[in-house]
Amino acid sequence: MGMARGVVGLAHMRGPLVAGFMWGAFALASVHLRDTHGVFLLVWLPSAVAVASLYVTPEKRWPPLLAALAVAQFTTFLLVDLSALASLAFTVADQVEAVICAVLGLRVLGGRGKTPRSFAHIGGLFAAALLGCMAGALIALPFRGEPSFAELAWWFLASVLGVLAATPILLRARQWLGFGDQTVRFMQDNPQRGFPLTVAAMFALGVGVLESPAAGLLPVLFVAIVFAVIRFGQLAAACAVLAYAAAGALVSFYRGNAAPILAADPAIAGLVLQALMLLMLATALPIAAMLLTRERLAQQLRAQNAQLHDNLTMLNLAEQLAGLGRWRLDLATGQQEWSPQMLALNGLPRDLAPDPGNISELLPDGGERLFSELAAHRDDRRPYCFEYSTALPTGEERTLRIHVTNEFDPTGERQALFAVAMDVTEQVLRETALRKAREQAVALAAEAQKLALTDPLTGIANRRATLDWLGRLVRASGQVGEPLALLMFDIDYFKRINDCFGHQTGDEVLERVAKLARAQVRSDDLVGRIGGEEFVCILPGLDAHAARALAERLCRAIAEGSEQGGLPRITVSVGLALARPGDTPESLLARADAALYEAKDGGRNQVRRAA
């Protein structure tokens, strides 16, 4: 574990060490060129090293990075014969400058992983560089040998140009240099073939223009950098400025003046050239930002067009596979847009797409169903659907289901219809067949239920239904105290009828008795057959007197009406029982049955009440 931590620590320190070494190397090389060879430094590259290092390093690891840079900066200033106090002041100035530029720049971009994508980003980075470099220049100014406006201006301009021009290039090159987070990008430009040659040409152009005696050639440098930006993007602006800076340094090496074309004191000429280069960046970078924005919008448009093409392709395939058709009607212009599949669904030739005109005459009903539904739903804000019929060229009639959405303008007026239709003929046929089958099944179930509860000979309740109904009424009578009467009767000497007249006549007698019994009871009463010739009448709500009167009527009606239709005359014996508290269906039946046998023992064709 300790070895692993050590390896991670070394990996984290590699970036700060590389950044400190680079800062010192660039600074010593720059001072050497200035002091030994008289080169005018238009760009201070160490500032770019510090800012680039901060850009690609997570903020929580800035302390070791800043410490490494501080050591390199302080040591370098001591090596070039500055006092300890001046070295410390310059170190603080460089640190403040780098931190301000990096912090403000990251805030402008929105994070380390972001790249400049708009004019606002370019302007924000430009302002961050100006503020940071001005702060550093002001801190360092009192500790320079002879503080002056020229000294302040040189520090400020050289640092600004370094931050704005060299930082993007260093961020591009950090994979080779090995510092910072290798996944962080800064510019999205991807220079094409010919970019190095263009930079070299701009260096040569810079040398030629700066040495030229014609001051009117300076605008050529502006034009060249603009063309480079248009051709290659933001990175070209940074490389062009560095190329011009290198050209100025070269010219100052052998001419003692970075811009002889200006015919001014070398220090003043250098400052003017720096200001012009800063103006070039201020001109070129917004152009690059606008081009980048245009390119990004063009890419988005191309991507959207490609996606739209793919979506339309998939939509057409889906229409063909699913049998769907699209239709849109612009109510303002009357223009229609029919998909080929929509025309085919309506029995119209596909080649009529996209606008077949008035199709009313081509529909079976003249379009009455279709257009009347559309008119009825003209104010609907939610999608709606309905079905209508159409005819194919073969004469076959098909059913279409159409889903419609109304489109409204901001004032609430319906301005267009959008619809999707599909052929549901087979589905409608299946649903119709299913509905008929369901109705038939329900009817069969009802018939089966009826057969399960009905005596097939007489059509009245069978034993099962009778006993079930009696059980519910006995429980209800016990709960609410309502009277309940039960009549049990059977046909006197029924066996003689079967023996003398045959079983067919016996069945007809049973049917006749059931019919006469139903005629004597109320609609809420139940008449059931519980045995061969045994019947029951369940009479809820009747007291003893009323139940006795009904039983007597029943007995007389059967005796007087049984001979109709050529049937033999019959009589019945009736047992009457009234429900008592604590009765069960079985106990009530038993008492009625006992009363029935008392009636038979007493001579038949009479009513007896249970005790």
Mind giving me the DSSP string for 103-127? HHHHHHHTSTT----SHHHHHHHHH
Average pLDDT over residues 406-422: 83
Identify the residue whose tokens are 């009455």: 368
Count of alpha carbons within 13 Å of 428, Cβ hemisphere only?
13
- The pLDDT-based confidence of 190 (bands split at 50, 70, 90) is low
Q: Are 132 and 81 in contact (CB under 8 A)?
A: no
Can you give the pLDDT at residue 147? Answer: 74
User: Can you spell out the DSSP letters for 390-422?
Assistant: EE-TTS-EEEEEEEEEEEE-TTS-EEEEEEEEE
User: Can you spell out the DSSP letters for 167-195?
Assistant: HHHHHHHHHHHT-S-TT---------TTH
Choice among 37-51, 186-200, 219-233, 540-554 with the minimum mean pLDDT? 186-200
Q: Are 234 and 117 in contact (CB under 8 A)?
A: no
Q: How do residues 56-103 score in pLDDT, each as one tens digit? A: 888 888 999 899 999 999 999 899 888 899 889 999 999 999 999 989
CATH number of 454-609: 3.30.70.270
Count of alpha carbons within 13 Å of 235, Cβ hemisphere only?
20
143 to each of 71, 153, 158, how far by Cα in Å?
19, 15, 18
Distance CA 367, CA 390 (A): 9
User: pTM here?
Assistant: 0.52
> What is the chain's alpha carbon radius of gyration, rounded to the nearest angstrom?
54
Q: How do residues 422-445 score in pLDDT, each as one tens digit? A: 777 777 777 777 678 667 756 665
Q: How do residues 374-402 score in pLDDT, each as one tens digit? A: 788 888 888 888 887 777 777 777 788 88
In this structure, whether the domain defined by 12-187 belongs to CATH 3.30.1360 is answered with no
Give the list of residues 6+ apart from residue 181 with CB closer than 8 angstroms, or none.
56, 57, 58, 112
Q: Kindly tell me if the per-residue pLDDT of 569 is higher than 50.
A: yes
Average pLDDT value for the chain: 82
Nearest CA to 109 out of 128, 90, 85 is that of 128
Query: Percentage helix, strand, coil, to 5, in the chain?
Result: 65, 10, 25
CA dihedral (393, 399, 405, 406) positive or negative: positive
Q: Taking each helix axis as running N to C, give the angle between helix 119-140 and helix 84-109, from 0 to 180 degrees, rounded to the nearest 10.
A: 170
User: Which H or E element spans position 324?
Assistant: strand 324-330
Q: How do residues 302-311 score in pLDDT, each as one tens digit? A: 777 767 666 6
User: Which H or E element spans position 436?
Assistant: helix 425-453
Task: Quickly count: other Cβ atoms within 10 Å of residue 241's Cβ.
Answer: 27
Choice among 180-189, 339-348, 403-412 with the minimum mean pLDDT? 180-189
Enumerate the H helices of 502-584 as residue ranges: 503-520, 544-561
Q: Are 320 and 341 in contact (CB under 8 A)?
A: yes
Report the percent of the chain where pLDDT is more than 70: 86
298 to each of 116, 207, 291, 293, 294, how far by Cα in Å?
17, 37, 10, 8, 6
Name beta bridge partners: 400.
388, 423
Identify the residue whose tokens are 């929509």: 342
Known catalytic residues? 533
Distance CA 108, CA 270 (A): 31
Choice among 21-25, 56-60, 105-109, 285-289 with the minimum mean pLDDT? 285-289
* DSSP strand pairing (484-491 vs 384-391): unpaired
Q: Kindly tell me if the per-residue pLDDT of 177 is higher than 60.
A: no
Domain segments of the chain as ranges: 12-187, 190-321, 323-428, 454-609
Q: In what order do the strands lie in the sheet with 534-540?
A: 526-529, 534-540, 484-491, 572-578, 607-609
- The pLDDT-based confidence of 553 (bands split at 50, 70, 90) is very high
CATH topology of domain 323-428: Beta-Lactamase (3.30.450)
User: SS3 of 50, please?
Assistant: helix
Q: How do residues 454-507 score in pLDDT, each as one tens digit? A: 888 998 999 999 999 999 999 988 888 889 999 999 999 999 989 898 989 999
Enumerate the H helices of 141-256 as residue ranges: 149-161, 167-177, 195-211, 218-232, 234-255
Can you give the pLDDT at residue 216? Answer: 76
User: Which H or E element spans position 89?
Assistant: helix 84-109
Give the list of residues 6+ apart from residue 428 with CB closer than 8 angstroms, or none.
387, 399
User: Can you spell out the DSSP letters for 97-109?
Assistant: HHHHHHHHHHHHH
Quick one: tokens of 296? 């990004």
* DSSP strand pairing (607-609 vs 572-578): parallel
